[in-house]
């Protein structure tokens, strides 16, 4: 994929000085995110970790192009083959309940006119997320995990450079979450994309990330600013045993101090 | 378990309703002397046949029923064909619809009398009136339902730079369909009331005109017989809508 880049850049996604201000019901201006800048490198899994209402979701939606920021720019690395910049997986189930698993994915297969190639791409991503045999199932009344797999398959089918994932496992049992962390890591190792993940769960951030960006208030400062950054061993598979290591305990302690002090 | 309770509730509902009918028969056939409040049930039974002989019930019923259901189909068809620009307008220019919403304070009689004043009495003018009522009702439903479509269905497609025609024509449209189809049950009741009222005011043809004539002749048993038949037709319409709804909409919005 490196060859298809038009211009060599160190980043796959660059957010510069993003600010977002809302008007509340009383008409007063509320600043949610202020002057936030960061980059995501190719193949990297970056987590934006922050407390509830810290602006994580808003930041992801701005990068996805769903919301316009009050100030700042989002730049994606340019590719010759017109790959989609970003795919977005929201917290709530996003698979359309009136379409089969295959048809939910079909729209995202871009620029391909040959039906055989479209079907082959759909088959490939369905296999990657472990939904083989469920191609014709309708996602209505299926579990949150099943619907997440469809959303992930759709994102993969789009060949997005970055997949933006907004806290998808909030209501999932911890033991089930680990299966999905592994799935995402395996798929991201196999296919060529980066992940920007928003979560309020420190354990989740420690297990899934190559890098954690801590979104919090600076002491006496602005809302929704990145106050710290933590680097972890790149590309490792999530495992509970990692959490017991001294390095992870220190990072957790530092995160907790920043978030709760 | 919920089906069991639903069946039990339905059974009780029909049993109670049968009880009301039985009380009416006992009271007005055998106990209370014939008066001007409600007619004797035996007279109402006789009126079912006299409705056809004296009031031409079947022709008038066909006139009203075809007007109502053709208008529903036509209004749905127009909305379906124009769904992409319509949804674009409703979602991007909500202020436009909000401003029209202020007309809700004008009652049906205002519109009906103005319409009857403006347009000559004819079959076409009634179908046009019924169609306009359907169209306004359905556009309002589309607008309300579109605002309620889950953002999580829409946002992934915005991120993938989906075109408006795909977003409005597929995602939003399918998202609002359960609400839209459910609203046909309300529209059925609403439209019957409005159309009967319209025909009553207009005094040309239709079941509303039968009410007008029966009232002018002070034919109480014909009024009650017509009401029973109209209620049966409305209930049948609702049943068909429910069956279609169950057959065509298999998901929740």
ipTM of the complex: 0.87
Total-model pTM:
0.82
Q: What tens-digit pLDDT sequence spans chain B (253 residues)?
A: 566 677 788 888 889 999 999 999 888 888 887 666 888 888 888 888 889 999 999 999 999 999 999 999 999 999 999 999 999 999 888 777 777 777 778 888 888 888 888 887 777 888 888 999 999 999 989 998 998 899 999 999 999 988 899 999 999 999 999 999 999 999 999 999 999 999 998 888 999 999 999 999 999 999 999 999 999 999 999 999 999 999 998 887 6
- Which pLDDT score is estimated for B2? 63
Number of A–B residue contacts, CB under 8 Å: 61
The dihedral built from the CA positions of residue A122, A124, A130 and A136, taken in this order, carries a sign that is: positive
Q: On the CB side of B217, how many CA atoms lie within 13 Å of its CA?
A: 13
Structure tokens, A180: 């999905």
pLDDT 10s digits, B12-44: 888 999 999 999 988 888 888 766 688 888 888
pLDDT for the residue B109: 84
CB contact under 8 Å between A94 and B156, yes or no, is yes
- Judging contacts by C-beta atoms under 8 Å, the chain B residues touching residue A154 are 156
Helix (H) or strand (E) holding B218: none
Tell me whether residues A66 and B153 touch, CB distance under 8 A. Answer: no
List the single residue in A66, A92, A158 with the smallest CB-CB distance to B158: A66
CB B64 within 8 A of CB B207: yes
Query: Considering only alpha carbons, which residue of chain B is nearest residue A165?
Result: B156
Query: What is the per-residue pLDDT across A117-149, written as a single tens digit (0 to 9) for each?
Result: 899 999 999 999 999 999 999 988 888 889 999
Retrieve residue B46's tokens: 């006789």
Identify all chain B residues contacting A110, using CB atoms and an 8 Å cutoff: 160
Best mutation site among A90, A138, A144 for testing chain B: the one with the most B CBs within 10 Å?
A90
Within chain A, which residues score under 50 in pLDDT?
1-3
Structure tokens at A258: 């920043």
CB contact under 8 A, A107 and B162: yes
Question: CA-based angle B12:B15:B16, to the nearest 5?
Answer: 85
């Amino acid at each position: 994929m490196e060859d298809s880049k038009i211009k060599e850049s160190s980043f796959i996604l660059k957010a510069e000085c993003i600010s977002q201000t809302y008007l509340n019901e009383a008409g007063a201006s509320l600043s949610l995110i202020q002057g936030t800048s960061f980059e995501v490198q190719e193949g990297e899994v970056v987590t934006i970790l922050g407390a509830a209402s810290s602006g994580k979701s808003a930041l992801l939606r701005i990068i996805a192009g769903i919301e316009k920021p009050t100030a700042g720019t989002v730049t994606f690395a340019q590719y010759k083959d017109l790959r989609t910049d970003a795919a977005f997986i929201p917290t709530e189930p996003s698979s359309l309940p009136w379409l089969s698993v295959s048809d939910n994915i079909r729209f995202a297969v871009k620029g391909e006119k040959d039906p055989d190639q479209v079907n082959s791409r759909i088959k490939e991503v369905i296999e990657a997320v472990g939904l083989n045999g469920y191609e014709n199932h309708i996602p209505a009344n299926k579990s949150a995990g099943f619907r997440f797999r469809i959303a992930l398959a759709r994102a993969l089918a789009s060949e997005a450079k970055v997949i933006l994932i907004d806290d998808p496992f909030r209501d999932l049992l911890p033991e089930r979450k680990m299966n999905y962390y592994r799935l995402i890591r395996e798929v991201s190792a196999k296919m060529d994309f980066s992940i920007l993940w928003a979560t309020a769960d420190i354990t989740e951030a420690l297990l899934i990330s190559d890098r954690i960006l801590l979104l919090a208030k600076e002491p006496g400062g602005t809302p929704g600013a990145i106050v710290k950054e933590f680097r972890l061993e790149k590309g490792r598979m999530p495992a509970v045993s990692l959490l017991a290591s001294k390095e992870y305990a220190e990072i957790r302690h530092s995160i907790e101090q920043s978030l709760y002090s | 378990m919920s089906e069991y309770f639903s069946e039990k509730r339905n059974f009780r509902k029909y049993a109670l309703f049968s009880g009301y009918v039985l009380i009416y028969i006992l009271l007005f056939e055998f106990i209370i002397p014939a008066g001007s409040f409600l007619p004797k049930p035996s007279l109402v039974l006789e009126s079912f046949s006299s409705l056809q002989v004296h009031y031409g019930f079947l022709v008038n019923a066909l006139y009203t029923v075809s007007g109502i259901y053709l208008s529903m189909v036509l209004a749905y068809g127009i909305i379906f064909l124009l769904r992409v620009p319509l949804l674009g307008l409703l979602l991007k220019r909500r202020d436009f619809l909000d401003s029209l919403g202020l007309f809700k304070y004008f009652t049906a009689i205002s519109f009906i009398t103005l319409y009857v004043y403006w347009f000559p009495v004819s079959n076409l003018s009634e179908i046009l009136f019924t169609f306009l009522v359907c169209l306004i009702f359905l556009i309002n439903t589309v607008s309300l339902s579109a605002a309620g479509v889950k953002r999580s269905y829409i946002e992934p497609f915005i991120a993938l730079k989906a075109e408006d025609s795909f977003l409005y024509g597929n995602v939003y449209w399918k998202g609002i369909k359960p609400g839209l189809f459910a609203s046909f049950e309300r529209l059925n009741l609403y439209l019957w009331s409005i159309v009967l009222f319209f025909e009553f005011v207009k005094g040309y043809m239709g079941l509303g005109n039968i009410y007008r004539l029966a009232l002018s002749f002070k034919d109480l048993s014909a009024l009650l017989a017509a009401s029973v038949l109209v209620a049966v037709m409305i209930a049948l319409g609702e049943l068909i809508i429910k069956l279609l709804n169950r057959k065509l909409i298999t998901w929740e919005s």
